[in-house]
Copies of this chain bind each other. A is one copy, B any other.
Amino acid sequence: MSEHETRIEADEKVPTIEIVREFDAAPERVFRAHVDPELYAQWVGPRSLSTRITRWDARTGGEWAFANDRDGEEIATFYGSFHEVRPNERIVWTFTYEGHPDVVALETLTFEALEGGRTRLRTLSVVGDFETRDGIMASGMDTGVNEGYDKLDELLAKDS
């Protein structure tokens, strides 16, 4: 398995964060790892935490929620809505950390087919102001993203 770099970029002109990552699996499999709750719980987030799905209805108009546990103890919960689930192509969801209930990110994930059965996944995350965006960037989210995508690489290699 090749090593893939994750690019995490804050835009200068708009309060967005773009994350781009390639995977050695077809869009169908990378997409499925985002909508199947058993798969999603296996890879999302940093290695130090486990994910427990508490609500999951991965369809346009559905909702989701999960908790993060460390050593069996809940330390954070998150929730949102699936605005759109377009099979194998695109997911648009909202995202709130319950510790900051007034902050809502709108995230658009696009699954682009590359040669050789690979996928480029882009996540564009939008919030309403730069202060909020910069706070998210400074929160250590890069560790969760990087370690999560490494776990997703491992899952995709295993389940092929």
Spell out A's residues near B (CB within 8 Å). 13-16, 55, 60-63, 65, 79-84, 92, 94, 96, 101, 104, 106, 108, 124, 126-130
A16: B residues at CB distance < 8 A: 128
Q: How far is the CB of A65 from chain B (nearest CB, A)?
A: 8
A62 to B80, CA, bound (A): 10
| A interface secondary structure, majority | strand
Give 13 CB contacts A-B under 8 Å. Answer: A14-B130, A16-B128, A55-B61, A60-B79, A61-B79, A62-B63, A81-B83, A83-B94, A84-B96, A84-B104, A92-B104, A104-B106, A106-B128
Q: How far is the CB of A37 from chain B (nearest CB, A)?
A: 15
**Contact A80–B83 (Cβ < 8 Å):** yes
**Contact A129–B14 (Cβ < 8 Å):** yes
A104: B residues at CB distance < 8 A: 83-84, 92, 106, 108
| Top 6 A-B pairs, shortest CB-CB distance | A61-B63, A81-B81, A106-B106, A83-B94, A126-B128, A81-B83
A96: B residues at CB distance < 8 A: 83-84
A129 to B124, CA, bound (A): 11
> Other than the known A14-B128, A60-B63, A80-B83, what 16 A-B pairs have Cβ atoms closer than 8 Å?
A14-B14, A14-B130, A16-B128, A61-B63, A61-B81, A81-B81, A83-B94, A83-B96, A84-B96, A84-B101, A84-B104, A92-B94, A92-B104, A106-B106, A124-B128, A126-B128
